[in-house]
């Protein structure tokens, strides 16, 4: 870092009040982890990743830069649309069509001296574990549950119990109209996004038969074009929701259908909204939630005060639908969470064993006692008791050795058993010969 330029003469004054908060202990500061003399430097060198540069992302980037973070990275695959300008305040009319991540990064860098923001105009899935390993903190301002689940699973997967730096706290903000939530996840320590999936009611879909026979709303016509007309006519090999040409095709189809049923209100932007499942955003709800998220980031990075999730409440919900209501509570981690639960236990085995011998050992081991086990790895179905066709296909594996099946020392296997319908057992093979 060009540290010579970080603190010009006016800089100490700029951060005076922030420093009062982050470098001095308060009544709730944990003395064992707090060291006021190194906080400012630690925050300057800390790499923070922001996911999303939309409504929440603009707020988050601005807040982080004004909270003393200096090495910020931001990922967003979207380009700026004219409809974003009412609340995504880092963008101007002449930016329409440009990358959100790039424009947002340049704007905040120009506005807050000494901050470096590295933009990535792509999908989070384009990066591998090594990329995510470089950050100390991740903050999400996303509108899609799929992307949240992906980054959550990735950060949980990074955890290596022998490497302190592999634990990346995840701060997640989300809004829907006047409602929102801020939560903090310490991977494998506190409840994760997958544990909390029940907090997201899936959006009510319209019955297919309504779309097919009796549309009543403009949204029904758009969904009809999306779900039925597209499949029948296949104008392009694969629907790309970010391609204006594809959205326009759906828009024209929806418009024709709306005329047929005398339904007003189908527009291009409504088509885009319905197809991309966009929930109308309200600027100030984004501000409230982003502010809550960034204060948690400041506290986690500086240890100046306890953050959400340390150790109790980890989830703050906000609702402005009827007055103002907020509720902060502890969402429990789920032992059977498919992402963070079931840390694999060691299972002694031998490369020369047949799969049948391995399964027999599962029945005999006191911690397992599984008599009807079905076993898979991430890429291979080793043996399934049911359904019958799959049992038949995998039966020959029973007489193969673990070596022949390509199973190695350290291989994770997933075992299910109808006697424990709700439990998933994860084991890690531990070969004796090693």
Q: Is residue 387 involved in binding another protein (CB under 8 A)?
A: yes
Q: Is residue 410 involved in binding another protein (CB under 8 A)?
A: yes
Tokens found for residue 412: 């994770």
**Minimal distance, residue 340 CB to Zn ion, in Å:** 3
Tokens found for residue 147: 């992307």
3-state secondary structure of 286: helix
- CB nearer to another protein: give 94 or 231: 231
348 binds, among Zn ion, another protein, none (CB under 5 to 8 A by kind): none
Contacts of 190 by beta carbon, 8 Å cutoff, 6+ apart: 184, 309, 314, 333
User: Site map for another protein, 177-216, x if CB under 8 A?
Assistant: ---------x-xx----x--xx-x-x-xxxxxx--xx---
**Minimal distance, residue 429 CB to another protein, in Å:** 9
What are the angstrom distances between the C-alpha of 282 and each of 74, 285, 296, 338, 417?
22, 6, 22, 34, 47
**Minimal distance, residue 90 CB to another protein, in Å:** 29
With contact defined as beta carbons under 8 Å apart, do 229 and 253 qualify? yes
**Minimal distance, residue 306 CB to another protein, in Å:** 9
With contact defined as beta carbons under 8 Å apart, do 205 and 251 qualify? no
User: Site map for another protein, 89-118, x if CB under 8 A?
Assistant: ------------------------------
Site of interaction with Zn ion (CB under 5 A): 192, 194-195, 337, 339-340
- CB nearer to another protein: give 198 or 322: 198
For the segment 347-376, give every residue that binds another protein (CB under 8 A).
374, 376
93 binds, among another protein, Zn ion, none (CB under 5 to 8 A by kind): none
Tokens found for residue 47: 């790499």
Residues β-bridged to residue 280: none
- CB nearer to another protein: give 104 or 405: 405
3-state secondary structure of 226: helix
192 binds, among Zn ion, another protein, none (CB under 5 to 8 A by kind): Zn ion
| The one catalytic residue among 122, 140, 192, 209 | 209
For the segment 291-310, give every residue that binds another protein (CB under 8 A).
300-301, 303, 310
Cis ω before 423 (30° cut-off from 0): no
What's phi and psi for 141, nearest 5 deg?
-130, 80
For the segment 113-132, give every residue that binds another protein (CB under 8 A).
129
b/e map of 135-160 (b: 16 or more CB within 10 Å)? bbbbbbbbbeeebbbbbbbbbbebbe
Pairs from 35-43 (Cβ < 8 Å, separation ≥ 24): 35/303, 36/304, 39/301, 39/302, 39/303, 39/304, 40/15, 40/68, 42/301, 42/302, 43/68, 43/69, 43/70, 43/301, 43/302
With contact defined as beta carbons under 8 Å apart, do 172 and 180 qualify? no
79 binds, among Zn ion, another protein, none (CB under 5 to 8 A by kind): none
- CB nearer to Zn ion: give 159 or 228: 159
Q: Cα(246)–Cα(17) distance, rounded to whole angstroms?
A: 51
Binder among 261, 381, 403, 432 for another protein (CB under 8 A):
381
Q: Is residue 411 involved in binding another protein (CB under 8 A)?
A: yes
- What is the separation of C-alpha 180 from the centre of its chain, rounded to a whole number of angstroms? 16
340 binds, among another protein, Zn ion, none (CB under 5 to 8 A by kind): Zn ion
Q: Is residue 10 involved in binding another protein (CB under 8 A)?
A: no
Is 221 noted as a catalytic residue in this protein?
no
Contacts of 218 by beta carbon, 8 Å cutoff, 6+ apart: 254, 258, 263, 264, 265, 266, 267, 270
Q: Is residue 412 involved in binding another protein (CB under 8 A)?
A: yes
287 binds, among Zn ion, another protein, none (CB under 5 to 8 A by kind): none
**Minimal distance, residue 165 CB to Zn ion, in Å:** 21
Cis ω before 369 (30° cut-off from 0): no
Q: Is residue 33 involved in binding another protein (CB under 8 A)?
A: yes
**Minimal distance, residue 151 CB to Zn ion, in Å:** 13
Task: Show which residues are catalytic.
Answer: 209
């Amino acid at each position: 870092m060009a540290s010579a330029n970080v603190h010009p003469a006016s800089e100490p004054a700029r951060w005076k009040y922030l420093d009062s908060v982050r470098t001095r202990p308060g009544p709730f500061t944990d003395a064992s982890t707090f060291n006021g003399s190194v906080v400012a430097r630690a925050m300057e060198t800390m790499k923070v990743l922001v996911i999303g540069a939309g409504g929440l992302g603009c707020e988050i980037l601005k807040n982080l830069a004004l909270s003393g973070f200096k090495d910020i990275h931001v990922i967003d695959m979207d380009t700026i649309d004219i409809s974003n300008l009412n609340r995504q305040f880092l963008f101007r009319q002449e930016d329409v069509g440009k990358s959100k991540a790039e424009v947002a990064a340049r704007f905040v860098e120009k506005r807050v001296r000494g901050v470096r923001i590295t933009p990535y105009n792509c999908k989070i899935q384009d990066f591998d574990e090594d990329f995510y390993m470089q950050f100390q903190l991740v903050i999400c301002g996303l509108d899609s549950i799929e992307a949240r689940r992906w980054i959550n699973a990735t950060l949980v997967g990074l955890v290596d119990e022998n490497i302190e730096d592999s634990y990346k706290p995840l701060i997640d903000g989300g809004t829907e109209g006047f409602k929102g939530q801020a939560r903090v996840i310490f991977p494998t320590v506190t409840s994760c996004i997958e544990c909390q999936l029940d907090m997201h009611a899936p959006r009510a879909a319209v019955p297919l038969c309504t779309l097919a026979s009796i549309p009543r709303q403009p949204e029904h016509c758009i969904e009809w074009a999306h779900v039925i007309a597209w499949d029948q006519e296949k104008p392009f090999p694969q629907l790309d929701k970010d391609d204006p040409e594809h959205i326009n095709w759906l828009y024209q189809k929806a418009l024709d259908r709306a005329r047929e049923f005398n339904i007003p209100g189908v527009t291009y932007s409504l088509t885009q909204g319905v197809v991309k499942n966009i929930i109308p955003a309200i600027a100030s709800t984004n501000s409230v939630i982003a502010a809550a998220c960034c204060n948690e980031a400041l506290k986690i990075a500086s240890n100046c005060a306890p953050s959400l999730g340390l150790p109790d409440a980890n989830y703050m919900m906000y609702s402005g639908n009827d007055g103002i209501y907020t509720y902060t509570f502890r969402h429990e981690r789920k032992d059977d969470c498919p992402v963070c639960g079931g840390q694999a236990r060691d299972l002694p085995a031998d490369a020369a064993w047949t799969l049948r011998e391995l399964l027999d050992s599962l029945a005999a081991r006191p911690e397992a006692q599984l008599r009807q086990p079905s076993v898979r790895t991430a890429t291979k179905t080793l043996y399934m008791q049911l359904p019958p066709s799959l049992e038949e296909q995998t039966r020959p594996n029973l007489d193969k050795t673990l070596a022949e099946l390509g199973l190695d020392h350290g291989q994770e296997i997933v075992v299910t058993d109808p006697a424990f319908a709700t439990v998933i057992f994860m084991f890690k093979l531990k070969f004796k010969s090693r």
